[in-house]
A and B are shown apart, each in its own frame.
Chain A
Amino acid sequence: MAEMDTSSGGGHKKGPGVKKGKKLSTRVDLTPMVDLGFLLITFFIFTTTMSQPTAMPLYLPKDVQKPEDQNKVKESAVITLLLGKNDQVYYYEGIDPTKMMSSNFKAIRDVVLDKKRRTDPKDFVVVIKPTQDATYKNTVDILDEMKIDDIHRFAMVDITPDEYKLVQATEVANGIK
């Protein structure tokens, strides 16, 4: 046991007028102090290494005006994700937005992975269209999702006004304010 002997002063003399009959021990156990010290050390070790912020790179495709230069996307190999308000994600396969289904960020991984499994890896593309109600966090989360699901071909494009109306209609139908 760790000890510090501080009783050197009070041991020997029994002078006149000593009121206390019994001598109390003044030994201090240092073990908890050492424990605390090491706890603080490990805390500082971890905070110094983890204080650097990381960055997510994003490469934008060049805007091409001519339709023949744009990358052709196979209708059967594309899934479109629309980011709505309140962390909702709507998705549809192919090019028909009226069939959109609603989901959230937790369930979207299964949807995307399922589509990925069913599709030829050469043609698989994910199109991401955030609406004006989506937050920055939604956008970064969905890009993160692309990385987690090991999807290399994805595009972030502007939503068309018709699609936005459909998203709003779906939100009303689902009772999301």
Chain B
Amino acid sequence: MGRAKLPRKSTNIDMTAMCDVAFLLLSFFILATKFKPPEALKVDTPNSVFTKIAVDKNVVLITIDKDGKVFFSVSDANPNEKAEIIDAISTAKNLSLTDKEKASFSKNPTAYIGLPFRQLKQYLDLDQDEQKRVALTGIPVKDSTDNEMVDWIRAAVGAFQGTKMNILVKGDNASKYPSFQGVIIAFKKNDQMKFQMVTNPVAVPAGSELWKVNMASGTKGASS
């Protein structure tokens, strides 16, 4: 056979195009990632099988850190309500806060309250950098006679009248029950019976009752 063999074709594929597409997609996802706002308070939340996403509008956030200190803050999207709250507290507790001090709370998006009323004026008087350096003791809640959270929640209820207020509790795993109990008592005194606790999502354990319910309803009943 003198027939010439078929000309050998190159089997090397040029991968530069694939590489370009890969990096383009990567850049898209890097830019699309929303970074979490820098958390002023480090809290390690517990896990839970609940799948309902935590709301982020009209939120009053109560944070309990690992030492049981309680902090109060309002979501950034509600500066008017924040201003009303600090006004109400100032009048109710005779703190005579100046406008500058009130603005320090209401205009600052990451502001939170972590001190008893009598130290509040002094704290709000400082600049933001100095505020960060203050060692906060938390709002007193454990003493039933001195539960300041009751006043904060009452001010929040007044400020959010007419719109639906969402109360979110973000507690650390290691905080002990008495702080949480104090916060619950404050809610009950203000007739706020519904609230949500921030958790990390985990999968439903296979074979458990909830898993069976989810399988039966085709995961339509997965969120509660």
* Interface residues in chain A, defined as those with a beta carbon under 8 Å from any beta carbon in chain B: 1-4, 30-31, 33-34, 37-38, 40-41, 44-45, 47-48, 50-63, 83, 109, 113, 130-141, 143-144, 147-150, 158
Additional A-B contacts beyond A55-B168, A55-B197, A56-B50 (17; CB < 8 A): A2-B16, A33-B19, A44-B26, A54-B199, A55-B54, A56-B48, A58-B196, A60-B187, A61-B193, A62-B193, A133-B177, A135-B173, A136-B174, A143-B48, A144-B48, A147-B210, A150-B213
A58 x B195 contact (CB < 8 A) = yes
Neighbouring B residues of A133 by C-beta, 8 Å: 176-177
- Chain A-chain B contacts (Cβ-Cβ < 8 Å), number: 170
Also in contact, A53 and B177, with CB within 8 A (given A48-B29, A60-B187)? no
- The closest CB in chain B to the CB of A36 belongs to B22
Neighbouring A residues of B205 by C-beta, 8 Å: 148
Main secondary structure of the interface of B (DSSP, over half): mixed
* Interface residues in chain B, defined as those with a beta carbon under 8 Å from any beta carbon in chain A: 12-16, 18-19, 22-23, 25-26, 29-30, 32-34, 36, 45-55, 64, 168, 171-181, 184, 187-188, 193-201, 204-205, 208-210, 212-213, 224
A111 to B171, alpha carbons, bound, how many Å? 27
How many Å from the CB of B16 to the closest CB on chain A? Answer: 7
Neighbouring B residues of A140 by C-beta, 8 Å: 46, 48, 171, 197, 199
Main secondary structure of the interface of A (DSSP, over half): mixed
A52 x B184 contact (CB < 8 A) = no
B49 x A136 contact (CB < 8 A) = no
Also in contact, A147 and B34, with CB within 8 A (given A37-B22, A57-B50, A134-B177)? no
Also in contact, A53 and B199, with CB within 8 A (given A47-B33, A147-B210)? yes
